[in-house]
Every structure is written in structure tokens, then in C-alpha cells.
Structure 1
Amino acid sequence: MKMKKSLIAGLATLSLSVTSGAPLAVLAHPIQNAATDNGQSTLRPITSDVAVIAHRGASAYGPEHTLAAYKQAMTMKADYVEFDLQMTKDGQLIAMHDETLARTTNAKELYPDRAPWRVKDFTLEEISRLDAGSWFNKTYPNMAKTEYIGQHVPTLEEAIKFVKKHGNGKVGLYMETKAPNVYPGMEEKVIEILKETNVLDDEKLFLESFSEESLRKLKTLAPNVKLIQLYSGSMLTGKDVYQEMKRISDYAAGVGPSKELVVPKLMEAAHQNQLLVHPWTVNSEDDMVSLLSLGVDGEFTNNTDQLVDLLEKPYISHGVASGDVTDSSAILWARTNVEARVQFEISTDSSFKHDTIVKTSRADVAHDYTVNVEVNGLKADTKYYYRAHAVSSQYTVNGSFKTAPEENSLKPMSIVWGGDTGGQGEIPPYKSFKAMSAINPDFFLFSGDTIYADNKTPAVPNPPSETIQDFWAKYKENRTDAGLRSLLQKTGTFAIWDDHEVTNDFSGPSQPLTQAGLGAFKDYWPISSERSSANKLYHKYSWGKSMDMIILNNRGYRSPNTMADGPDKTMLGEEQVKWLEQQLLESDAKVKFVATSVPISVPTGKATARDGWANGNQVNPNDLTGYENEFKKISDFIIEKGIKNVYFVTTDVHFAEVIKYDANHDGKTDYHELISGPIGAVKINPGTLDPTFGPERLYAEGNFFNFGVFHVDPAKNQAGVEIRDENGKVHFSQTFQLED
């Protein structure tokens, strides 16, 4: 069989298929019809706009639930003003969040003998005497205004009329029945006032409550009103979110979850039932963007202006990353939500006041608005800070990385590695990335299966991924994980692909989907031109003389898995095998760290179609597949040339294992294999090892989420490995004395 020099000869230019649906009404903050949408994702708004809901008015800038705060929200172009409703002793509805008057008025001073100052114990006339604004000036002196002194508590009628008048008919009403069990008849009173003020049939009207009973009563009183079921964390504890969203869809038009509850499964469950998702209360720009990346339909916020600004301008939508870091260069990555020019600033100064390098790149639809920029001329063994923003936007995202030490230096180092994310129903959030980040590694090796393109997830409910839009959607879905974004922003990343970046157990040259899968992989990871050119993906990276990391491409050159093993069958291709041997031979690093996406002695794939190197004939004596002939060449080369301290590292098999090899059976260890995973996929237990290369298990454990840590201590001439669970707890630790 002739060895292939490139992944796929003559790849055609990627084509974009644009899907379109029925036209939707254009409201205040329209979503651009992006050609990058995959047409089936549940992680995108189901309306044509994302609603800016001013939480208690523009309550970051003025006293909540006062006319001043409502006016400020409308000036800032909010789509909705929210009222919390309480009922007075004489049955009048007022706008106030708390059941007591103590926090946001001067009730204690005016009525000192009436503790605990419950709203229901005061008449409207008594409440009308209160100052509802001065407290804000005392609490937030930097935001104080004289006009806030003497602001009064508005009635519901007054609040509605004020918004209708000053909002020019464009600003909607969003009101919550607070503690309806405390106020019998509250629902009837709400509907009565909505009728009297001629807003009950308004298109931009929502009623919300934590009380299902209250919402069902409102539905009975006004069948056409749009209702939002609010959720705190405890309300969803122990519930199947899919069943819960289906159940409430008979009365609710949407849900208002606490912001931390918004994850892909909730979005899928809600949107599949045509329920809007309006999380609360979202006050930081990072949180706003994070929720926008999940496809929410609106957000409650105290900072109305910040959300409006984000929705009106391009912004960095899925964090930033650095990768393929050397002693003098790095690749920086970012993605915007629409076409934009992206600016990166890079400096050794975290304030970016000194020695700042500036790079810009254009984010366009052909690459799903992702950009990769190369930064050269960096100092070795140095921590760099960088930040990125869409040029027209003020919103910035920060990151950092450390360059490799100088060529001949020996410095201690630590890395984390893992893979298998997004498979078999295990989707974000993942806990392992947060635990990885806490270790403060020098870099992160993402060892393959960085997505599961062929598995059902909220981003691709009808798998497998077939268009490049599907593949892009999978990467965006995993980037909704806050822990992953944090890790990528904290340290450099080296990403390699395995099978699920395209489809299970695929062979690049013969798989039609390889083109789209490879294109999306290169779009979504910070990959150097040395690796991406000619789609070779394999490369060597050095960490001084402490480690040479040799990254393999186990997919792009391989013969079909079903081909019988023999001298002509290849996984790496002849050129890559020769290159690997050359890197091993020439390396003078303490550790030769070979990043392979498939294992050596764990039989993977299927009988008669083995996907890793092992043929598994100890399981099936008639199994003639696998790639043992090729690995034997590599193994023999390591032994014959006396190459020491070789560690093959992988994930792929969904359990953790550490193996030492005596391939020539002379009683000495020839090399090691380190296996971790999964981060987020099906968990299984270790099986039987193929005996061909003399493996001996040092550790094997399955049925838990985990990742690996590898460190080198040149001063002690030692290397070490740890397997940690998703909480960071060490399950296995082994120190290796390095051979000279």
C-alpha cells in the first residue's frame, strides 16, 4: 500500500450551507441570521431577539422600584422593565421586592414602633409617605444623586402608566407576583389593573412567579397572558429537567432560572418545549456573554446598559485561548459572535502599560468567526498576559500563558492532560477542568475526543454531525463550560484530534466527513501553521531540556481499520513514522513524551476492525486487524537505539491506567504508557491487555471521571504521574527515576 504524504489529497474548499426558517418578528435586539447556525441546535434563541429585562429598573444605577430607576432603564434602551409586586393592608398593589419596607425605605425612622414593617401591615396612604430613594445614596455614595432623595414607592397602576408614557410604547412590562400566598386575591387584582390600564393584551407583557399555583390562577383569569415560571436551584433538585419543562409547558411560555442553572440540558429541555429562557440576575459582562453563548432568549440584569451594549456590537463570545507555545512564540485564539475585527494585546505586564504587542485579525463567516494569530519574538520562560476584544466593543477577555524555557535549560514542569468530552449524554458542565486549572499547570494537553461529533447533544439533537455547521456547534457547546474556558484562558493548550472529532473509529483518507471535521478542529483550537499546514497536525514541542513532547496524528494517514495487519498497513504513514523515529533519536531531553490519541495494548474498536495498535487476539484469536506491525517498528527502534524515558500518553478508552512495558522480555522497562479519562463521556472499567509488547499494569481504575497530571523534576532526575478525579483528589501517584 502506498503511503499518503498528506491527509487528503486535493481537499475541496469548505462549503457553507445556510439554513433558513420561517421569518420572525424583528424586535429591539435582533439576532443576526448567521450562516454558521447548524439549523438544529437548541442552544440558540427561539425568538428573533434577546430581551434586555431591567431587573427592578436600572437598579445598579438608581434606587430599585422607583420611577427614577425605571426611567433610567428606559433611557438605557431596556426592552422590559420588571416590577415585583406586594400588596398593602388595604389591598393595593405596589412595586417592591421585599415583603418588608425596612431595606429600601425610611419606614424604621417614620414608623419606629411598627417592626418588622411588613408591607401587608401598612396602608397605601402610609406607604406613600415613605422615602424610597435616600437609602440608595447612603449605600452607594459613588452613584448618589439628589433626585433620588424623596423618591416614593409606586403603585402598579402608576408604574405601568409611567413606562407606557416614557417608553414610547416600545418598552414592555414584566411583573412578578411575590409571595402570593401572603396576599389572597393578588392574582385577581393584577389582572384587574392590567385591564384597567389597557395592557393585558400587549405583546410585550410577561407575568412571572416562583409559585406555580399563582401562575395557574393567572392563566385561568387571563388565558392569553404569557407566563414565566421562575426557578431557584432547590426547585429543580432531583428533578428530570426534560420532564419538568414538558410538564410546565401547558401553562408557561417560558422559564426564569437562576443563572447558574442554565446549562445545555436545561436549554435543550426548554427550547424543545418552545419555552423561552430568561435567567436572573445577570450582572457581569462575563456572565452575560456566557449565557448568550448558551442561547438564552433574554436576561434579567441590574446593568441594563452593559447588556444592551453587548447586543448592539460584536463581542468575544466563547472565551480566548493560547496554544502551541514555544520558547519564543504562541498562537492566540478567539471567537466573535458576528463578523468583526479582533485585536489582541500581549504583554509581560498584566496592566498592558509597557512593552505591549498588538495583533489584529478578521473574524469571518468562513471560519465561524474564529481567529488564530501567531505571536513571535517572545522571551523564553516568561509569563505573558493577553487580552482580546472586538474592535468596536469595550468588552475584553483576558488570558495568560507561559513560554517554554530556553533550549538547553532544565526547569521543573507540570502538565495536565485528558480527553473524551461530550459523549454518550455527558455534556457540559464538566468538573474536571476546574480541578485541572487549580493545579496551575505549565500547559494542558487535550488528548483527543475534544468533541463527540457523532453523539446526540443539545447542539446537535439529530446526529451525526454532517455539515461543518454541526461540527462548529459541538465546539461551541463544550466552550459553554466555564471550567474549560477558565483553563484555556489560564495556560497554553496543545490540542490533538482522535476519532470523535469526525466520527467513531474513522480513518481520515477514506472518511467523507474528514474534510468538515478537520476544518472545524483547526478553526476551534489555537494550532500553529507548522501543524496545520498540509493538515499534518504532528509536531514536536520542547520544554527546554526537561521534555520533548512529540504530538502524533493517529487519524489522518491510517489504513482502514478493517484491513488485515501486515507490513503495508499503517496508522501514522511512512513519513510520520520516520519523523517520529528521528525525533526520538535526536532528543536529548530528560523525558520523551509521545502524545498519541489511541492506546498501545488496550484493544479498542471492534473485532476485525481494531482502532488502536493492539489486535486483541487474546480476546479473539482470529482477529487479524490492529496495527501491531507498525508499532513493533517503533518499539524495536526505541529498544535498539537505547532511547530512555519514553512515555506514551493517551485517553480514548474511558478509564485510567498506567502501564510499563518490557517489549523484548529482558526484565527491563523499555517505555511507559499513561492513560486518563474520561472528562465527560461514558465511564467503563479496564479490561484485558493485549500481551504483545509485554505490558505490566501499575494501576488501573474505571467508572469515574478523571484526568492526568505529569511532572518532571530535573534536579532530582525524576518524573511523576498522578491520576486525579474530577474533584482533584489523587487516586494514583507514581514517581519514576529517570535513566541517564
Structure 2
Amino acid sequence: MFKPFSILLLSFLFSCQMPLEKVSDKIVIAHRGASGYLPEHTMESKAMAYGMNAHFIEQDLVLSKDGIPIVIHDIYLDEVTNVQELFPDMSRSDGRYYVIDFTYEQIKTLSVFERFDHKTKKPVFPDRFPYNQSTFKLHRFQDEIEMIQGLNKSSGKTIGIYPEIKAPSFHRNEGKDISKIVLQILSDYGYTDQEDLCILQCFDPTELQRIRKDLSSELFLTQLMEFPAGAEDLDNYAVYANAIGPSIQQLILAGTGKKEGNKIVDKAHELGLKVHAYTFRKDEHPNFESYEDLLQFGFYDINLDGGFTDFPDITVQYLKESPQ
């Protein structure tokens, strides 16, 4: 068994690798932290991403039973924790274990693992951090903000946060307004307008419009896009959003065999929208011979403004060294 990681040690080890800088205003967003190396959305993964000099670090947010934003990718607990072992009787009729059915005190007792299939228990990425080894925990949104802000103060860096409102309609059906709760926390920690080191994202266009209009948020907003949403939707997004977040696979398919790979990106730029695509993975690039070829396609061939990546160190270094 591996011993638990020290957040401070990880930050120290990687903070000396390279200076923090943006290249041609292109940004690297640590997708669920340094999730190519450590279990996603753990504080250790976020500290490692900070030390790797990602420009922003992502936080997916789901509410607990007592209304506390938990940093976790899904509304379910059973694909990254041992919830089934500790709370076997707390699943719903569909057999799944929902974050919103557990208090924060209960959630703190769970162990976090590399993402796995909840049916087969096999890891999604078998060559990443060993499944069911070491000790990792879930944490509150506030805990992560305080760590990043604290490291900004102690290191002199200016690394931002990139939270996502997850499943707002699901939360609303459960009697909770996740957007209001998250916006209040962001305001409490000094994130209120587009000049602050915070970009707020959501897949639900109705909710993102509500955040901009009804909840009067002045934050930088990214409208995430699911395939097959395309360029025809961008005029609507530009009314309330500052950026779009399409999948890199969507952009790859748009460019297959023709010169239209940058169609979405070009139109977004014409409308004044930035484009931050997800997700760049060193161990998943079936359309390209190498990870560097994928980065070349995304950041230069189609001119992305930013990208979410599980491997922030390689991506930051690529942008730093690229002659383009």
C-alpha cells in the first residue's frame, strides 16, 4: 500500500519545474486536477496541478444532503468511492448512491479511488494511479478555494478556479438551488466579476442564462457543449456567455476529411467568444499518432483559446516550447 500523499510536498516538488506563463493567451485548465496522475478531484490531485502551473484548476460541484458543495464529477458516489461498502443500505431504487442523500460528515468517511466502473469495479484508465491504493478523501468547494488562494499568496502565482455547476435541474427537483449556493460562496471568497480568477461553467444553457440574468452574475461564463451541438447554437450563447466549451472529439469530427475543423472555433471568435475544449488526454488520442499531434490540432490548427487536460504538465510544457 502507498502512504497518503502530502499536499504540500506535491506542491513543492512540482512548483519548481517551470515558470507560470500563458502562451499567446492560450490557457491550460487542469481537468479534475492532475487527474492523469492521481485520483480525480482529490486535494492531492489539485495540489499537483497547481505545482504543474495549470492556469486554471477545475472543480465539478454537487450538493450534499446538507447543502454543501462537494467537489466530485458526478451526482453519484459509486464510481470513485467505497460508498457501497460503508453504506450498503443507502442506494436508491436504481441501485446508485447519490451525493445528495449523504451529509458532509458521512461523505468525509468515504475513501476515494481512481475512477472505476461501478458494475465491474474495473478502473476506467487501468494504467493510471493504482486502483484502491493509498488514502484519498472528498472535500468541500470552500476547502479547495482556500488551498488555491493560500498557495497563490505563498507562491506569488495567479492560478484561477474553473468551477462547474453540475445537474442544476436534478438539484432543483431535490429542492436545492445549487447555483445560488455556489455563487454566494464565490462572492464570499472574492470572485464576483470577469476580472477575477474564476470562470464558471455549465452544460445547461437555461441555467447559465439564469445565472447571468436572474442571478445577476458578472463572472466570466462558459457554455459547455455536448455533441452534436454545433455552430448554429453560438449566436444564442453569445448573448449571455463569454466562452464555449465543446468536446475536442466534436471538433475532430467536424474537421474529418475537410477544411471545416475550425468552423465552430472561427464562428465563436467572430462572436467574441473564447473556446475552451475538453478533454486532452495523453492516454486517449485515437485520431492522432501522439499526444503532441492532438495538442497541435487543438491549439494551433483550429486555434483554441484553452483546453481542459488530465496532463497539465505536458500541455503547459508543449505550449511553452512550441515555436508557434
**What is the match of residue 294 of structure 2?**
287
- Candidates 120, 141, 149, aligned match of 2:100: 120
Instruction: Look up the SS of the partner of 2:59 in the other structure.
Output: strand
Distance 1:152 1:69 in 2: 11
Q: In structure 1, what residue type is equivalent to 2:192?
A: L
**What is the match of residue 248 of structure 1?**
237
Contact 1:85 1:95 in 2 (8 A): yes
Q: In structure 1, what residue type is equivalent to 2:249?
A: E
1:363-398: per-residue Cα shift (whole Å, max 9, x none)? xxxxxxxxxxxxxxxxxxxxxxxxxxxxxxxxxxxx
- Candidates 306, 315, 320, aligned match of 1:307: 315
Distance 2:292 2:98 in 1: 35
**What is the match of residue 58 of structure 2?**
82
Distance 2:240 2:115 in 1: 39
- Candidates 156, 160, 169, aligned match of 1:172: 160
Distance 1:233 1:108 in 2: 32
Residues 131 and 223 of structure 1: CA distance in aligned 2, closer, same or farther (over 3 Å) = same
1:18-42: per-residue Cα shift (whole Å, max 9, x none)? xxxxxxxxx82222xxxxxxxxxxx
- Number of aligned residue pairs: give it: 267
Q: In structure 2, what residue type is equivalent to 1:180?
A: P
Matches within 5 A, 1:51-90: 51-90=27-66
**What is the match of residue 275 of structure 1?**
273
Contact 1:62 1:148 in 2 (8 A): no
Contact 1:257 1:280 in 2 (8 A): yes
Distance 2:89 2:319 in 1: 48
Residues 183 and 209 of structure 1: CA distance in aligned 2, closer, same or farther (over 3 Å) = same
Residues 125 and 286 of structure 1: CA distance in aligned 2, closer, same or farther (over 3 Å) = same
Instruction: Look up the SS of the partner of 2:23 in the other structure.
Output: coil
The structure richer in helix per residue is: 2
Q: In structure 2, what residue type is equivalent to 1:264?
A: N
Is 1:257 the counterpart of 2:266? The answer is no
Offset at residue 148 of structure 1 (A)? 6.8
Residues 252 and 113 of structure 1: CA distance in aligned 2, closer, same or farther (over 3 Å) = same
Relative contact order (C-alpha < 8 Å, sep 6+): which is higher?
A: 2
Percent identical pairs in the alignment equals 31
Please, which runs of 5 or more residues in structure 1 have no aligned partner? Answer: 1-26, 32-48, 315-336, 339-740
Distance 1:166 1:117 in 2: 34
Q: Greater CA radius of gyration, 1 or 2?
A: 1
1:84-107: per-residue Cα shift (whole Å, max 9, x none)? 111111111111011110011110
Contact 1:107 1:130 in 2 (8 A): yes
Distance 1:135 1:260 in 2: 21
Contact 1:85 1:93 in 2 (8 A): yes
Contact 1:53 1:298 in 2 (8 A): yes
Instruction: Look up the SS of the partner of 2:85 in the other structure.
Output: helix
Residues 148 and 94 of structure 1: CA distance in aligned 2, closer, same or farther (over 3 Å) = farther
Offset at residue 304 of structure 1 (A)? 0.8
- Candidates 95, 102, 124, aligned match of 2:78: 102
Please, which runs of 5 or more residues in structure 2 have no aligned partner? Answer: 1-19, 117-121, 252-260, 282-290
Contact 1:176 1:208 in 2 (8 A): yes
Scaled by the length of structure 2, the TM-score of the pair is: 0.77
Offset at residue 235 of structure 1 (A)? 3.0
Distance 1:143 1:244 in 2: 36
Scaled by the length of structure 1, the TM-score of the pair is: 0.35
Instruction: Compute the RMSD of aligned alpha carbons.
Output: 2.2
**What is the match of residue 210 of structure 1?**
203
Q: In structure 1, what residue type is equivalent to 2:97?
A: W
The structure richer in strand per residue is: 1
Task: Flag as ranges the 4+ runs of structure 1 deviating above 6 A.
Answer: 145-148
Q: In structure 1, what residue type is equivalent to 2:109?
A: R
**What is the match of residue 112 of structure 2?**
132
Contact 2:32 2:57 in 1 (8 A): yes
